Structure 1
Amino acid sequence: MRGMGRALGLGDEFFLDLVGERGGADARFTYYPPCPRPDLVYGLKPHTDNSVVTVLLLDRDVGGLQVLLRGEEWVDVPVLGRDELLVVVGEEMEIMSNAAFRAPTHRVVASGRERMSLVLFYQPEPHRDLEPAEELVGGDRPAMYRKLKAKAFADGFWDTFALGERTIDFLNIKVGRQQQQELQEAAGVSV
């Protein structure tokens, strides 16, 4: 998160301050048994992560993670080296960064070989507001999402996952053009 703040010229602590000192972290260890017909099943269906960031320690011998590229093509994530972690942007970061960082749709495909992964999901404090950071909203870049509590966003995740939708879309967090103009006018930004 420090690097993401730096990349946007906002400083090392910017996103850490938005998440809060007591942001949550959940871990999930997943075992994928060998599948006799991997062409017929997913290891995990397409989804985006309900997190600020997700850190993955993938199986170092067997791949299976895929990312949807430009909404058209599934691309394999290469098997990582022995000491490498994969960091994935979550939808909460997409909201806070006003879509400067976007949560990728990804899935896990089944394999004829067993594999394991460890995934850590980092979330903001539940009472925090999730909204585009003021520093990333302006006349040339209107607010892309409306404000809601981090807990409300987290509570909506499992319903959206079951339906195969993004939480941002399911909870109707995206702001339309008319709403963007109203938000800008309320914030005193000339349109």
Structure 2
Amino acid sequence: MSEKAQRKKPGRKPGSRVTHGAYSLVARGEFPSKRCYIECWLSEVRAGLIRDLGHTETDLSTGQATLIERIIGKLGILRCIEEHVRERGVMKGNELSPPLGKNYLGWANSLRLDLLALGISKKNGERILTPLEIAAEIDREKGSAQGEARPAEAGTGGPGTAQEGRSSADEGQDMDEDQRGEEG
């Protein structure tokens, strides 16, 4: 066998062996024995994703089911890398640990894009009110506490007028302009 043929053998290149387990998950479809607890966590995440979509598994479209499987696979790889780093540390000598430096950010970004494609976003909370909406809510509360709502007068910014969305700061600016007009 020639020297050139010996160099082109398939398999890993010489060097330090990668031991985080993400490659065995991809190659064999199973976790290394010391990482089996991740499988239970991934099952919970999968059920949560299906629940977040508001469906049962049978109601998912083919695209949604495929994305969920891809997400679970990527999460498994990321968790294996995270556990490896937790056990061995972030730095190896003066450099970042090889799984972090070479792979982690790529897998994490790919996972983020898959989650966006699936339509999973941040937790749906209450919408944040604008200052104008807060002021209007306070006015409504004051009106209901007094037992009567403010009467809508033409041109005063009451409900139903063109000035409905104006804030008290805008009204103060109008008064400044009126005062300047009287002085000049």
User: Which range, TM-score by smaller chain?
Assistant: under 0.3
Structure ranking higher on relative contact order (CA contacts 8 Å, 6+ apart): 1
**TM-score, normalised via structure 1 length:** 0.21
More helix by share: 2
**TM-score, normalised via structure 2 length:** 0.21
Higher gyration radius (CA): 2
More strand by share: 1
